Amino acid sequence: MEKFISIEEAVSKIKSGMTIMIGGFLGNGSACRILEALAKTDVKDLTIIGNDTAYPDKAVGLLITNKQVKRAIVSHIGTNPNTIQQFNDKELEVEFVPQGTLAERIRCGGAGLGGVLTQTGIGTAIEEGKQKVTVDGKEYLLEKPIRADLALLGATKADKFGNLWYKGTSQNFNPTCAMAADLVIAEVEEVVENNEIPLESFHTQGIFVDFMVKH
């Protein structure tokens, strides 16, 4: 199957009401061009899952600014004043998840696990409504897995099979998100021939990538 598609084709696969995982950390490692194109559409009522909501004029932050998001499952929103304003005005629902817990919940979704036990959040608002489990006399929160309809990744390099390599910290949540969505689209900066990326350097294996967009 031909994995390379245009930005327009990629955006056409995103529908109103979908749940989307977005790789990246403040836009670093995000599929920025796809997100820019999505921000120009009428797609709305999205649920987004990712580390943050970036900045008002960058990456996922553009969707917030345009009020295309109804719910965000993130670790923090402090760099995007539009997210804060919409949250305070009750226009946007935000589920705050500690960063490590968020990564583990996504990993569980990709691995088919029933959840992860963690002590992070006990005694805080994070524990509200969650099941507690005692193991060897210690109390833990059961954090349930999360999955998405679609994941958008931002990769530095890809071969034609769809194997991805991320430079430095742009790797962040991307490999984990790739395993926890029904459809995965990667925006890549550089395309190389198969076997040019050493096998041990695959950060995301091509079997997880459905489509790619050349940056």
Residue type, position 177, single letter: C
The span from the CA of 131 to the CA of 133, in Å, is 7
Q: Where are the beta strands (DSSP E) in the chain?
A: 19-22, 46-49, 69-74, 93-96, 116-118, 132-135, 138-143, 148-159, 164-165, 181-192, 211-214
The share of the chain scoring above pLDDT 70, in percent, equals 100
Report whether 13 contacts 150 (CB < 8 A).
yes
Question: Residue 54 pLDDT > 90, yes or no?
Answer: yes
Interval 2-30: pLDDT, tens: 899 999 999 999 999 999 999 999 999 99
Whole-number average pLDDT of the chain = 97
Interval 82-99: pLDDT, tens: 999 999 999 999 999 999
3-state helix, strand, coil in the chain (%, to 5): 25, 30, 40
Question: Residue 50 pLDDT > 90, yes or no?
Answer: yes
The span from the CA of 213 to the CA of 191, in Å, is 10
Provide the pLDDT for residue 1: 62
Residue 214 CB contacts under 8 Å (≥ 6 apart), including other chains: 4, 188, 191
Report whether 21 contacts 49 (CB < 8 A).
yes
Residue type, position 8, single letter: E
Residues in the chain: 215
Q: Mind listing the domains of the chain with CATH numbers?
A: 7-97+147-214 (3.40.1080.10)
